Amino acid sequence: MKIKEVIVVEGRDDTSKIHQSVEADTIETNGSAVNASVIKQIRHAQAKRGVIIFTDPDYPGNRIRHIVDQAVPGCKHAFLPRDDARARHSHNKSLGIEHASAEAIKTALRSVYSISEKGASDISREDLILAGLIGGSKAASRRSRLGELLQIGHTNGKQLLKRLTMFHITKDQFEAAMNQVIQEEQNDG
């Protein structure tokens, strides 16, 4: 699988894992201290080939994603589910692209989102409350599974509506994914 855009990752281990999984070029942010030189590289890549931001599904990764997205408008986004990013045979509980399988990376890169300024989601905060995604005992696990199904990453309650809006998830897409989440809960229960 060949990726034409340049992929923005956090570090060397992520680049190594990307190269094992797909044919692509990367720019490393070297952690959450994204400096002006890296932003300049990303801007140049965006102008020439396009950019996909593909950071770890944790707080530092989301912070880097936000910094790059604000500094370089028009980037695409790929998200790796938290379960796919966990270290398997290690005592440390770290999350990272470097721990993912090649297939999980390919799946995330096939499900890239573009953000556009026009249009907005027709999903409301009330919809999220009614779906049990904000407040309630199952909210965190439901948000996690919904993020996987919609390929929008892991979110907290506040971030969820913003991500749904940012990626123009329609009410139909949202309802179909929520129906699957509820069906899976019933099958597991």
Sign, CA dihedral 115-116-117-122, equals negative
Please count the CA atoms within 13 angstroms of the CA of 119 that sit on its side-chain side. 10
Helix (H) or strand (E) holding 150: helix 139-150
pTM for the full predicted model: 0.72
- Which domains does the chain carry? 2-114 (3.40.1360.10), 125-188 (no CATH)
The tens digit of pLDDT for each residue in 55-103 reads 998 889 989 999 999 999 999 999 998 888 887 665 567 789 999 999 9
The tens digit of pLDDT for each residue in 43-66 reads 999 999 999 999 998 889 989 999
